[in-house]
Amino acid sequence: MAGIYVHVPFCKQKCTYCDFASFPKELGKTESYFACLYRELEGRGRALKDKVFDTIYIGGGTPSVVPAKFIAGVIRQIKKFFNLAENSEITIELNPGTVDEEKIKTYKSVGINRFSIGLQTGYDEQLKKLNRIHTAKDFLLACNLLKGENFSADILMGLANQTAEQVKKSIELAIAGGVSHISLYALTPEVGTPIYTDYLNGELLSDDEVADIYDSARKYLEEKGFFRYEVSNFAKKGFESKHNLNYWRRGEYIGVGVSASSFIDNRRFTNTFSIDEYMNAIIYNKNPEIDSAVIELEDACFEFIMLGLRTVDGINIKEFNQKFNKDFDSEYKSILLENGKYLDRDGFNLKIKDEYLYVQNTIITSFMK
């Protein structure tokens, strides 16, 4: 299984927590950027003609902020130059304040069959403080446009003065809108973002408070038929994100556009974070990558464990042994003993116990050598 990620670095305004490559002041470069994007897609597709890709994910930024014709062009270019599997999952991220009936119609006409809506919270005052451009009502209007489609909502935990009841109400709003998938993320205050000041001032919730909110939300989601399949992701049965599952299974993926990362043929590489540098590289037939590394065996082993243990299913030890020509039990004997109370073992399957999955970082890093 392999995926294609396409980065659209444009948005109307920057959210206070956003640390992604998104540039509100660069919208005027949309046409030039997509011309370069199409060209990179052609080059990457020709170079990877022997690989089959099962998923496409268009993220950002805010992909829905640009005219739909550019998104349609991306899909057409991928279908032209990549070996795309039948019934591929094709996802686009949407901001509720930037969609309309015509855009949705265009997306569907080119084969987009999954939509990820950035709700973040169902409370307008919190949305305003986050510098979001939409309201809770806008979210429901977007849901109405997507009625009958496969769509997801993102919800943030850890906002200033946020309560478990507020997160529950946000989940209720998403479910009322008809979502089949919910991503429940803990706010991460990154250095350089406006919300980092709130963190320094002690205005955000503590890790323990967020953990309590998460536990409450997880139980409520399961009551409503949304089952956790990865630490931050919940879905109705059969509606898990195939694109994200590929990441957690350490599958291959190619990223195109500004800041996009890739993992192909055991090499990880990332494109430049500058729109101008990216476009100049493409125009002059240069490589837009700014870093590249072949993954050594020990790092590959840890990646397999780290990514797999984030999921409810965990890792398959037999697969590990075959993939890396190692004996997992002897390789990690002392670590398995130290973490025994946190882990569930069933034959060749190893996973973190449900009650410890949210606080899995310490458990996972113990496997690092």
pLDDT in tens, 40-95: 999 999 999 999 999 999 999 899 999 999 999 999 999 999 999 999 999 999 99
Could you tell me if 219 and 336 lie in one domain?
A: no
Could you tell me if 91 and 157 lie in one domain?
A: yes
**Does residue 275 lie within any of the structural domains?**
no
- Predicted local distance difference test score (pLDDT) of residue 199: 78
- Predicted local distance difference test score (pLDDT) of residue 188: 85
Which of 185, 219, 247 is the last residue in one of the domains?
Answer: 247
**Does residue 258 lie within any of the structural domains?**
no
Could you tell me if 181 and 318 lie in one domain?
A: no
CB 240 within 8 A of CB 197: no
Could you tell me if 232 and 327 lie in one domain?
A: no
**Does residue 294 lie within any of the structural domains?**
no
Alpha-carbon separation of residue 85 from 39, 53, 54, 77, 123 (angstroms): 22, 6, 5, 15, 40
**Does residue 289 lie within any of the structural domains?**
no
Could you tell me if 130 and 241 lie in one domain?
A: yes
Could you tell me if 228 and 311 lie in one domain?
A: no
- Predicted local distance difference test score (pLDDT) of residue 303: 95
> Could you give the CA distance from residue 180 to residue 150 in angstroms, rounded to a whole number?
6
Could you tell me if 191 and 324 lie in one domain?
A: no
Could you tell me if 174 and 48 lie in one domain?
A: yes
Peptide bond preceding 61 in cis form (omega within 30 of 0)? yes
Could you tell me if 129 and 199 lie in one domain?
A: yes
**Does residue 96 lie within any of the structural domains?**
yes
- Give the CB-side neighbour count of residue 151, counting CA atoms within 13 A: 30
- Predicted local distance difference test score (pLDDT) of residue 201: 80
CB 134 within 8 A of CB 65: no
Alpha-carbon separation of residue 281 from 9, 111, 196, 253 (angstroms): 17, 30, 33, 21
CB 119 within 8 A of CB 155: yes
Which of 226, 247, 268 is the last residue in one of the domains?
Answer: 247
| CATH code of 360's domain | 1.10.10
Which of 247, 266, 286 is the last residue in one of the domains?
Answer: 247
- Predicted local distance difference test score (pLDDT) of residue 79: 97
Could you tell me if 208 and 312 lie in one domain?
A: no
Domain that holds residue 161: 2-247
- Predicted local distance difference test score (pLDDT) of residue 369: 66
- Predicted local distance difference test score (pLDDT) of residue 195: 81
Q: Provide the number of structural domains found in the chain.
A: 2
**Does residue 265 lie within any of the structural domains?**
no
SS3 string, the chain, reads: CEEEEEEECCCCCCCCCCCCCCCHHHHHHHHHHHHHHHHHHHHHHHHCCCCEEEEEEEEECCHHHCCHHHHHHHHHHHHHHCEEEEEEEEEEEECHHHCCHHHHHHHHHCCCCEEEEEEECCCHHHHHHCCCCCCHHHHHHHHHHCCCCCEEEEEEECCCCCCHHHHHHHHHHHHHHCCCEEEEEECCCCCCCHHHHHHHCCCCCCHHHHHHHHHHHHHHHHHCCCEEEECCEEECCCCCCHHHHHHHCCCEEEEECCCCEEEECCEEEEECCCHHHHHHHHHCCCCCEEEEEECCHHHHHHHHHHHHCCECCCEEHHHHHHHHCCCHHHHCHHHHHHCHHHEEEECCEEEECHHHHHHCHHHHHCCCC
Could you tell me if 210 and 132 lie in one domain?
A: yes
Could you tell me if 243 and 327 lie in one domain?
A: no
- Residue that the structure tokens 């990154």 belong to: 190
- Predicted local distance difference test score (pLDDT) of residue 26: 85
Among 48, 54, 113, smallest CA distance to 82 is for 48
**Does residue 270 lie within any of the structural domains?**
no
Which stretches in the chain have pLDDT values below 70?
369
pTM score of the predicted model: 0.94
**Does residue 277 lie within any of the structural domains?**
no
| CATH code of 142's domain | 3.80.30.20
